[in-house]
Structure 1
Amino acid sequence: MRGHIILSHGSDSGPDATKVSVLAALAESLGWSTTRPDYREDDALGHAGSIDPRLARLGAAIAASPVPPVLVGSSMGAFVSGLASVDTPVAGLFLLALPARIPGYARPFAAREGVPTFMIHGYRDEVCPVDEAIAFARKAAIPALLLDDDHRLGATLPTIETQFRAFLAGLSGEPA
């Protein structure tokens, strides 16, 4: 096993959502173990109300990980992955369709400094403003890829897979 990856789905989605399923399959094909927490029960509490329960669920998954995990998140999953990294050591962050803030939640998005991080966002994201995501990436000096896609990033999934493969190779010290 190369390491462990925890993939967090977005709101109004589930652990079998397209992006997290495709990325989990890719990671497993490369020798990584994966976990996909189910946040659907938490999401019934609304966007702001779901964050703390999601953080608790993600924290339990991190604690159960055999090694500091790589956190992968889409939308709300990206938001909680970053916040969890501030509180717990992780091996990396791969963030998709990142909301830089959640209305009604006091804590803005944050991520642990010094952790290998990569962000992908769609120019046409109608849910999470691209300018806010870019501003976070600029402030945190993390690499970001902006794609001609909407919030779901469905049209660019092959590009996301390529970037994820390269990200994991970088963490493993291998050529992409």
Structure 2
Amino acid sequence: MRGHIILSHGSDSGPDATKVSALAALAERLGWSTVRPDYREADRLGYAGSIAPRLATLGEALAAAPVPPVLVGSSMGAFVSGLASLDAPVAGLFLLALPTRIPGYPRAFAAREGVPSFLVHGYADDVCPLDDALAFASGRRMPALLVDDDHRLGATLGDIEAEFGRFLERLA
């Protein structure tokens, strides 16, 4: 095993969602172990209400990880991955369609500094403002892949997989 990865899906999605499933399959082919927590029950509490239970579920997965894991998250999954990285050692952060604020939640997005990180965001994302995600990445000098895609990032999955593979190779 090259390492361990926890992949967190977005709201209105599930652990078998297209992006996290594709990235998990790629990671496993490269020799990484993966887990995809199920946040669907928490998501019934609304966006702001889902954060605390999502963090609790992710915290359990972090505690069970055999080594400090790479956290991968899409949208709300990216938001909680960053917050979780503040409380537990992680090997990396791969963030997709990053919201920097969740309406009704008092805390802005934050992530552990000094951790290898990467941002993927679509120019046509109408859910999570591109400028906000880029401002966060810029402030951290975080590498980013900007794609001609919307919030779901479905049209550029091949590009995202290629970048994720390179990210994992750099960590290995």
Fold agreement, TM-score > 0.5: yes
TM-superposed deviation, 1:130: 0.5
Q: Name the counterpart of 1:165.
A: 165
What is the identity, as a one-letter code, of the residue corresponding to 1:84?
A
Runs of 5+ unmatched residues, structure 2:
none
State the aligned residue count. 172
Distance 2:43 2:85 in 1: 20
Distance 1:63 1:155 in 2: 34
Distance 1:125 1:110 in 2: 20
Q: Name the counterpart of 1:37.
A: 37
SS at match of 1:158: helix
Q: Name the counterpart of 1:64.
A: 64
TM-superposed deviation, 1:35: 0.2
TM-superposed deviation, 1:155: 0.3
Distance 2:40 2:134 in 1: 28
Q: Name the counterpart of 1:109.
A: 109
Distance 2:88 2:143 in 1: 22
1:1-176 maps to which residues of 2 (within 5 A)? 1-172=1-172
SS at match of 1:87: coil
Distance 1:157 1:145 in 2: 12
What is the percent sequence identity of the aligned residues?
Answer: 77
TM-superposed deviation, 1:151: 0.1
Distance 1:9 1:70 in 2: 14
Cα RMSD over matched residues? 0.4
Distance 1:50 1:159 in 2: 30
SS at match of 2:5: strand
TM-score, normalised by the number of residues in structure 1: 0.97
SS at match of 2:169: helix
Distance 2:134 2:108 in 1: 14
Distance 1:145 1:16 in 2: 23
SS at match of 2:136: helix
TM-score, normalised by the number of residues in structure 2: 0.99
Distance 1:66 1:144 in 2: 28
TM-superposed deviation, 1:106: 0.6
**Where does structure 1 differ by over 4 angstroms across 4 or more consecutive aligned residues?**
none
TM-superposed deviation, 1:50: 0.2
